Structure 1
Amino acid sequence: MRGTYLRFYVQEGKTHHHLLAYEWLLEQAKKMGLHGGSAFKAAAGFGRHGMLHEDHFFELAGKLPVMVEFVVSDEEADRFLTFLQAEELPLFYLRMPAEFGTIKGPGN
Protein backbone atom coordinates (compact mmCIF):
# COMPACT_ATOMS: atom_id res chain seq x y z
CA MET A 1 0.00 0.00 0.00
CA ARG A 2 1.01 3.60 -0.43
CA GLY A 3 0.32 6.29 2.13
CA THR A 4 1.97 8.77 4.45
CA TYR A 5 4.60 8.57 7.16
CA LEU A 6 3.99 11.17 9.88
CA ARG A 7 6.54 11.94 12.59
CA PHE A 8 5.99 14.52 15.31
CA TYR A 9 8.66 15.88 17.64
CA VAL A 10 7.66 16.95 21.15
CA GLN A 11 9.55 17.63 24.35
CA GLU A 12 9.03 14.70 26.73
CA GLY A 13 7.66 16.87 29.55
CA LYS A 14 5.35 19.00 27.37
CA THR A 15 1.66 18.62 28.19
CA HIS A 16 -1.60 19.25 26.36
CA HIS A 17 -5.00 18.94 28.03
CA HIS A 18 -3.28 17.65 31.21
CA LEU A 19 -1.58 14.74 29.40
CA LEU A 20 1.97 14.39 28.18
CA ALA A 21 1.89 15.63 24.57
CA TYR A 22 3.14 12.35 23.13
CA GLU A 23 0.50 10.39 25.06
CA TRP A 24 -2.16 12.87 23.95
CA LEU A 25 -1.11 12.46 20.29
CA LEU A 26 -1.34 8.68 20.55
CA GLU A 27 -4.74 8.86 22.28
CA GLN A 28 -6.18 11.24 19.69
CA ALA A 29 -4.88 9.13 16.81
CA LYS A 30 -6.50 6.05 18.36
CA LYS A 31 -9.82 7.92 18.80
CA MET A 32 -9.67 8.98 15.14
CA GLY A 33 -9.28 5.37 14.03
CA LEU A 34 -5.62 5.38 13.03
CA HIS A 35 -4.30 1.82 13.12
CA GLY A 36 -1.16 2.32 15.20
CA GLY A 37 1.43 4.72 16.43
CA SER A 38 4.61 4.67 18.48
CA ALA A 39 6.56 7.08 20.66
CA PHE A 40 10.35 6.95 20.98
CA LYS A 41 12.44 8.96 23.46
CA ALA A 42 15.73 10.26 22.16
CA ALA A 43 19.02 9.83 24.02
CA ALA A 44 20.06 13.33 22.96
CA GLY A 45 18.91 16.08 20.65
CA PHE A 46 18.58 19.79 19.93
CA GLY A 47 15.85 21.84 18.34
CA ARG A 48 15.45 25.20 16.65
CA HIS A 49 16.89 27.02 19.66
CA GLY A 50 20.15 25.07 19.39
CA MET A 51 20.20 23.87 23.00
CA LEU A 52 21.56 20.32 23.33
CA HIS A 53 19.65 18.02 25.69
CA GLU A 54 21.18 14.72 26.79
CA ASP A 55 19.78 11.85 28.81
CA HIS A 56 22.50 11.80 31.46
CA PHE A 57 21.86 15.26 32.90
CA PHE A 58 19.43 15.05 35.82
CA GLU A 59 18.56 18.76 35.59
CA LEU A 60 17.37 18.25 31.99
CA ALA A 61 14.85 15.55 32.90
CA GLY A 62 11.70 16.04 30.88
CA LYS A 63 13.38 18.02 28.11
CA LEU A 64 14.48 15.29 25.72
CA PRO A 65 12.81 14.97 22.33
CA VAL A 66 10.14 12.32 21.84
CA MET A 67 9.28 11.19 18.32
CA VAL A 68 5.72 10.06 17.70
CA GLU A 69 5.26 8.15 14.46
CA PHE A 70 2.33 6.98 12.36
CA VAL A 71 2.06 5.24 8.99
CA VAL A 72 -1.37 6.02 7.60
CA SER A 73 -3.35 6.60 4.42
CA ASP A 74 -3.08 10.03 2.80
CA GLU A 75 -6.66 10.78 3.84
CA GLU A 76 -5.97 9.84 7.48
CA ALA A 77 -2.88 12.04 7.47
CA ASP A 78 -4.85 15.00 6.11
CA ARG A 79 -7.61 14.48 8.67
CA PHE A 80 -5.18 14.14 11.60
CA LEU A 81 -3.15 17.21 10.61
CA THR A 82 -6.34 19.27 10.18
CA PHE A 83 -7.47 18.17 13.65
CA LEU A 84 -4.09 19.06 15.18
CA GLN A 85 -4.10 22.48 13.51
CA ALA A 86 -7.45 23.23 15.18
CA GLU A 87 -6.00 22.14 18.56
CA GLU A 88 -3.30 24.84 18.31
CA LEU A 89 -0.68 22.54 19.85
CA PRO A 90 2.69 23.82 18.61
CA LEU A 91 4.32 20.86 16.85
CA PHE A 92 7.14 20.25 14.44
CA TYR A 93 6.30 17.40 12.08
CA LEU A 94 7.64 15.47 9.15
CA ARG A 95 5.37 14.14 6.39
CA MET A 96 6.73 11.76 3.78
CA PRO A 97 5.29 9.36 1.22
CA ALA A 98 5.45 5.76 2.44
CA GLU A 99 5.01 2.28 1.06
CA PHE A 100 3.86 -0.19 3.69
CA GLY A 101 2.36 -3.61 4.20
CA THR A 102 2.64 -6.76 6.26
CA ILE A 103 4.67 -9.92 5.84
CA LYS A 104 2.86 -13.02 6.99
CA GLY A 105 4.73 -15.69 8.90
CA PRO A 106 3.99 -19.36 9.51
CA GLY A 107 0.46 -19.99 10.75
CA ASN A 108 -0.96 -16.64 9.52
Structure 2
Amino acid sequence: MDGYFVTFFTQQNRTYRDMPIAKWIIEEATQLGVRGATLMSGREGFGHDGRFHSENYFDQEDPPLQVSMALTCDECDRLMDRLKENQLRVFYTKPKIEFGFTSEG
Protein backbone atom coordinates (compact mmCIF):
# COMPACT_ATOMS: atom_id res chain seq x y z
CA MET A 1 0.00 0.00 0.00
CA ASP A 2 1.04 3.58 -0.50
CA GLY A 3 0.48 6.21 2.13
CA TYR A 4 2.24 8.27 4.75
CA PHE A 5 4.27 7.72 7.90
CA VAL A 6 2.80 10.42 10.12
CA THR A 7 4.52 11.45 13.33
CA PHE A 8 3.00 13.97 15.73
CA PHE A 9 5.30 15.73 18.21
CA THR A 10 3.95 16.98 21.54
CA GLN A 11 4.71 16.99 25.27
CA GLN A 12 3.23 15.03 28.16
CA ASN A 13 1.69 18.12 29.78
CA ARG A 14 -0.19 19.31 26.65
CA THR A 15 -3.85 18.38 26.97
CA TYR A 16 -7.10 18.65 25.04
CA ARG A 17 -10.44 18.01 26.74
CA ASP A 18 -8.68 16.93 29.96
CA MET A 19 -6.65 14.29 28.08
CA PRO A 20 -3.00 14.28 26.98
CA ILE A 21 -2.92 15.26 23.28
CA ALA A 22 -0.92 12.13 22.41
CA LYS A 23 -3.62 9.91 23.92
CA TRP A 24 -6.37 11.94 22.21
CA ILE A 25 -4.67 11.45 18.81
CA ILE A 26 -4.43 7.69 19.38
CA GLU A 27 -8.09 7.45 20.45
CA GLU A 28 -9.24 9.46 17.43
CA ALA A 29 -7.12 7.29 15.10
CA THR A 30 -8.68 4.18 16.66
CA GLN A 31 -12.20 5.55 16.11
CA LEU A 32 -11.31 6.25 12.47
CA GLY A 33 -10.25 2.62 11.98
CA VAL A 34 -6.49 3.12 11.87
CA ARG A 35 -4.83 -0.27 12.38
CA GLY A 36 -2.04 0.82 14.71
CA ALA A 37 -0.05 3.62 16.30
CA THR A 38 3.03 3.86 18.46
CA LEU A 39 3.52 6.29 21.33
CA MET A 40 7.16 7.00 22.14
CA SER A 41 8.54 9.07 24.98
CA GLY A 42 11.71 10.99 24.26
CA ARG A 43 14.46 11.55 26.79
CA GLU A 44 14.87 15.20 25.89
CA GLY A 45 14.35 17.74 23.16
CA PHE A 46 13.29 21.29 22.42
CA GLY A 47 10.33 22.69 20.56
CA HIS A 48 9.67 25.53 18.14
CA ASP A 49 9.48 27.90 21.09
CA GLY A 50 13.04 27.01 22.12
CA ARG A 51 11.91 25.51 25.44
CA PHE A 52 13.85 22.46 26.60
CA HIS A 53 11.80 19.36 27.47
CA SER A 54 13.14 16.27 29.21
CA GLU A 55 12.23 13.32 31.41
CA ASN A 56 14.83 14.18 34.06
CA TYR A 57 14.01 14.45 37.75
CA PHE A 58 13.32 18.20 37.63
CA ASP A 59 11.20 18.20 34.49
CA GLN A 60 9.23 14.92 34.68
CA GLU A 61 5.85 16.41 33.81
CA ASP A 62 6.94 17.62 30.39
CA PRO A 63 8.83 14.91 28.46
CA PRO A 64 8.58 15.05 24.67
CA LEU A 65 6.22 12.52 23.06
CA GLN A 66 5.83 11.19 19.52
CA VAL A 67 2.80 9.44 18.08
CA SER A 68 3.65 7.59 14.86
CA MET A 69 1.51 5.60 12.44
CA ALA A 70 1.52 4.27 8.89
CA LEU A 71 -1.62 5.56 7.17
CA THR A 72 -3.27 5.20 3.81
CA CYS A 73 -3.94 8.50 2.05
CA ASP A 74 -7.62 8.31 3.05
CA GLU A 75 -6.83 7.55 6.71
CA CYS A 76 -4.38 10.43 6.80
CA ASP A 77 -6.91 12.86 5.32
CA ARG A 78 -9.59 11.79 7.81
CA LEU A 79 -7.25 12.10 10.80
CA MET A 80 -5.96 15.52 9.70
CA ASP A 81 -9.57 16.67 9.16
CA ARG A 82 -10.41 15.54 12.70
CA LEU A 83 -7.51 17.58 14.10
CA LYS A 84 -8.63 20.64 12.11
CA GLU A 85 -12.26 20.22 13.20
CA ASN A 86 -11.09 20.28 16.82
CA GLN A 87 -8.72 23.20 16.15
CA LEU A 88 -5.71 21.32 17.53
CA ARG A 89 -2.33 22.76 16.66
CA VAL A 90 0.22 19.93 16.69
CA PHE A 91 3.51 19.77 14.77
CA TYR A 92 3.78 16.73 12.47
CA THR A 93 5.85 15.16 9.72
CA LYS A 94 4.28 13.23 6.83
CA PRO A 95 6.71 11.54 4.43
CA LYS A 96 5.32 9.30 1.68
CA ILE A 97 5.88 5.55 2.20
CA GLU A 98 5.06 2.12 0.89
CA PHE A 99 3.94 -0.32 3.59
CA GLY A 100 2.53 -3.78 4.03
CA PHE A 101 3.41 -7.24 5.33
CA THR A 102 6.22 -9.51 4.16
CA SER A 103 3.93 -12.56 3.98
CA GLU A 104 0.32 -13.66 4.39
CA GLY A 105 -0.87 -14.61 7.82
Q: Under a length normalisation based on structure 2, what TM-score does the superposition of the two structures give?
A: 0.91
Question: Any runs of at least 4 consecutive aligned residues in structure 1 with deviations exceeding 6 A, and if so which?
Answer: none
Given residue 41 of structure 1, which amino acid in structure 2 is its aligned partner?
Answer: S
Establish whether residue 69 from structure 1 lines up as the match of residue 54 from structure 2. no
Given residue 11 of structure 2, which amino acid in structure 1 is its aligned partner?
Answer: Q
> Could you list the runs of 5+ residues in structure 2 that have no partner in the other structure?
none
Establish whether residue 22 from structure 1 lines up as the match of residue 22 from structure 2. yes
SS in structure 2 at match of 1:27: helix
Q: Under a length normalisation based on structure 1, what TM-score does the superposition of the two structures give?
A: 0.89
Identify the residue that residue 81 of structure 2 maps to in structure 1: 82
Aligned length: 105
> Could you list the runs of 5+ residues in structure 1 that have no partner in the other structure?
none
Identify the residue that residue 36 of structure 1 maps to in structure 2: 36
Q: Distance in 2 between matches of 1:90 and 1:83?
A: 12
SS in structure 1 at match of 2:5: strand
Q: Deviations over 1:9-66 (max 9, x none)?
A: 11112111111111111011000111111110000000011122222232x1221210
The equivalences for 1:45-60 within 5 A come to: 45-58=45-58, 60=59
Q: CA deviation at 1:92?
A: 0.5
Q: Distance in 2 between matches of 1:87 and 1:17?
A: 10
Larger radius of gyration: 1
What is the Cα-based RMSD across aligned positions, in Å?
1.4
Identity %: 27
Establish whether residue 94 from structure 1 lines up as the match of residue 93 from structure 2. yes
Q: Distance in 1 between matches of 2:38 and 2:54?
A: 21
